[in-house]
Structure formats: structure tokens, C-alpha cells
Amino acid sequence: MRMALYWLVQGCTAGDSLVFHYSGHGSRQRNYNGDEVDGYDETLCPLDFETQGMIVDDEINATIVRPLPHGAKLHSIIDACHSGTVLDLPFLCRMNRAGQYVWEDHRPRSGLWKGTAGGEAISISGCDDDQTSADTSALSKITSTGAMTFCFIQAIERSTQGTTYGSILNSMRTTIRNTGNDGGGIGGSGVVTTVLSMLLTGGSAIGGLRQEPQLTACQPFDVYAKPFIL
């Protein structure tokens, strides 16, 4: 994965459009340099993380965000636990259930620039930094899928020309929030009643999945005016 991340931005120039998609395990660890608002670094946990280590948000940012040149674009689609700010982008779109939003400033107090070298970087992730992302069959009704990935694909398939980042984020959040409200529970197996079940379903519970997809960016923008274009 580390080699692939370096490969993604190697030779990148104006006009290039890059996509980084990850669906898998994520975690977080204590941050000791004061650069994180919540005191934690977010991480990705590839299959060999126990021997090769987790990939920390600082490394991801340094590898694929900061080198991004003017005129280039990067979209990151991350379906993992604790993935809200896993690219360490400077701004997070904090949206409520009514669709109203404000941009939170997550720039480090140290003054270290976590944005790009002039390009545009936007990340859509499965949940907030303190949440987990579910793997469930409650959405497809057929097989177990990442909730965020399923809802993202569904939102794109239903979108029309000119669809905005705000409408996609709202669509994903609404679908996830309503999942399980039919009383079927996770995977149609009934009420989630045990702590073990909660862990296995990524923190899901009666009345919907407990995760909220997030949007972060290198610069704030009007999410209801900016069209979603890869």
C-alpha cells in the first residue's frame, strides 16, 4: 500500500485526477505532538499491519496530499473505522441532520501545513474519528458490504448531472441513518442485543447504523454549489 500511495502521485501534473479508495480496517492512536484536535492520529490497518505497522494519517498526508501540484485533483474514498480525518486535511465539513453545515478548522497549532502544493484534495470517509464503520447485509439484503461503500455507490448511481458534494453526503447519511429502522436489525437477523454483536457489526444498533460519513478538504467550499466531479 505504501508503494501504491507513492505511485499514485508520482509524475502528477496539472489536469490529472487521482482517486484513492480503501475499504478495510482502521484505528487510531494517541498523538503526542499536539497536531490533532481530538488528541489522536487516525490510521489504516492493512492485512500485514501487525508486522509492518499501521499507516498513520501523517504519513498519508505527506505522501499523497502535500505533493499534489496546482491543477491536479485528488479524491479519497475511505470506508474504515475512525476515518473522519484520516487524510489529515485542514478542514472538516460538520453537518447536522438538517443538512446545515460549518467548516471546522483542523489546522495544527504547530503551524505545519497539511494542505496541498496547490492542488485540490477532498476526502469522503465512512464515519467520524470517534466512530466505527459497519460491515452489514442490512443494506444490500443479500451479502455483507461496507455500509459507507454501498451508500456511496448508491448515491452516485442515483445522482444527476450537477450533483453536489452536499447532496451526496446527505444521501449517504440518510440511507445509513435509516438502515435498520424496519425492525429487521443488522442483516435482517433481528434485534442487536449483545456487546459482541455490536462489535461484530461495527457498533450498529437498533434504529440504524451508528456512523456518519464525513467530508474533509484542503480548502472550505460551498458543498451545495460545487458539483461532484471525479
Q: Is 81 tagged catalytic? A: yes
Query: Which residues lie closer than 8 Å to 64 by C-beta, 6 or more apart?
Result: 5, 8, 9, 18, 20, 74, 76, 87, 121
Residue that the C-alpha cell 444490500 belongs to = 140
- Residue 20: which H helix or E strand, with range? strand 17-23
Q: Give the separation between CA 212 and CA 84, rounded to whole angstroms.
A: 9
81, 93, 127, 151: the catalytic one is: 81
Q: Is 93 tagged catalytic? A: no
C-alpha to C-alpha distances, 190 to 107, 152, 202, 205, nearest whole angstrom:
43, 25, 16, 10
Query: Which residues lie closer than 8 Å to 222 by C-beta, 6 or more apart?
Result: none
Q: Give the separation between CA 18 and CA 9, rounded to whole angstroms.
A: 8
Q: Give the separation between CA 107 and CA 216, rounded to whole angstroms.
A: 12
Active site residues: 25, 81
